[in-house]
Structure 1
Amino acid sequence: MAFRLRLVPEQTSWDFFRHQTLTFGFSVMLVIASIIAVAVMGLNYGIDFRGGTTIRAQTNESVDIASWRDSIAPLGLGDVVITEVFDPTFAADHHVAEVRIQAQDGTEAVSSDTINAVEAALQTVVPSVKFTSTESVGPKVSGELIETALLSVLAATLAILAYIWLRFEWQFSVGAVAALIHDVTVTVGIFALFQIKFDLTIIAALLTILGYSINDTVVVFDRLRENLIKYKTMPLKDVMNISVNETLSRTVMTSGTTLIALIALLVLGGDVIRGFVFAMTWGVVIGTYSSVFVAKNIVLFLGVDRDKKKVDPADKFFDKSAKPGKSKPWNEGA
Structure 2
Amino acid sequence: MIVLSTDNHDNNTRFTLETLTQAGIIFVMGVAIIVTNVLIIATFLNFRGPSEVINIYLLSLAVADLLCGILVVPLSVYPAIVQQWVYGDVVCRLIGYLEVTLWSVSIFTFMWISVDRYLAVRKPLRYETVQTKTRCQCWMVFTWISAAMLCCPPLLGFNKPHFDRDAYICMLDWGNMAAYSVTVAILMLGPSLITIIYTYTYIFSMMKKLRSGVPIHDKEYATALSENLSNPSHVMSFVLVVTFWLSWTPYATVKLYEHFTNYKFQVPYLHFSIVWLGILNSFWKALILVALSPQFRLAVRIFCMTLCCRYKGRLQSELIDMDGDD
Question: TM-score if structure 1 supplies the norm length?
Answer: 0.27
Larger radius of gyration: 1
Q: Tell me the TM-score normalised to structure 2 length.
A: 0.28
Greater relative contact order (Cα < 8 A, sep 6+) = 1
The structure with the largest helix share of the pair is 2
Q: Which protein has the bigger strand share?
A: 1
